[in-house]
């Protein structure tokens, strides 16, 4: 199974692709997309087009996106929500199911604690994906989201097989 993890952001949208073979995870690629344009519609369109290219290039079987957290800045939260919409829409256009995970769930799954720092996340991603060269913190977060989805999807599959 190939998993695309997406860390939504309006300026920087992190992405990471991993392959899953049973309990074995391997790094495929990662990076950060940057929005281009002066106004919101053009910035969102640029992210959408770039993410579609990642989907075409790496052909994932499934995708996962971090859920938006609400902070004190309502306008900032709404902008992040629009970027998250792009992160969910692009895979849906390709017929790919999208898992959604709270930031604390991703951290707990990958690091073991729900309030891990960016450095701790990057460290554990490197431990779980030996040889992976992280292109930045947004890409590291996206790989963590992909790892989280892989673990939960694998567990879900085992439960379904056991019940059948």
Binding residues for Mg(2+) are 7, 66, 138
Active site amino acids: 7, 66, 138
Could you list the residues known to form a binding site, using ranges.
Answer: 7, 66, 138
The secondary structure of the chain, three-state, reads: CEEEEEECCCCEEEEEEEEEECCEEEEEEEEEEECCCCCHHHHHHHHHHHHHHHHHHHCCCEEEEECCCCCCCHHHHHHHHHHHHHHHHHHHHCCCCEEEECHHHHHHHHCCCCCCCHHHHHHHHHHHCCCCCCCCHHHHHHHHHHHHHHHHHHHHHHHHHHHC
């Amino acid at each position: 199974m190939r998993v695309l993890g997406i860390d939504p952001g309006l300026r920087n949208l992190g992405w990471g692709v991993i392959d899953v073979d049973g309990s074995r995870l391997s790094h495929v690629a990662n990076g950060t997309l940057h929005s281009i344009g002066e106004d919101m519609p053009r910035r969102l369109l640029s992210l959408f087009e770039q993410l579609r290219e990642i989907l075409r290039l790496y052909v994932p079987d499934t995708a996962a996106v971090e859920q938006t957290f609400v902070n004190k800045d309502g306008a900032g939260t709404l902008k992040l929500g629009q970027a998250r919409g792009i992160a969910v829409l692009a895979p849906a256009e390709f017929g790919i199911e999208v898992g959604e995970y709270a930031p604390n769930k991703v951290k707990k799954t990958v690091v073991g604690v729900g309030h891990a720092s960016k450095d701790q996340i990057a460290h554990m991603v490197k431990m779980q994906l030996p040889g992976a060269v992280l292109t930045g913190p947004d890409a590291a977060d996206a790989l963590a989201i992909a790892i989280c989805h892989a673990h939960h999807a694998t567990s879900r599959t085992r439960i379904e097989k056991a019940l059948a």
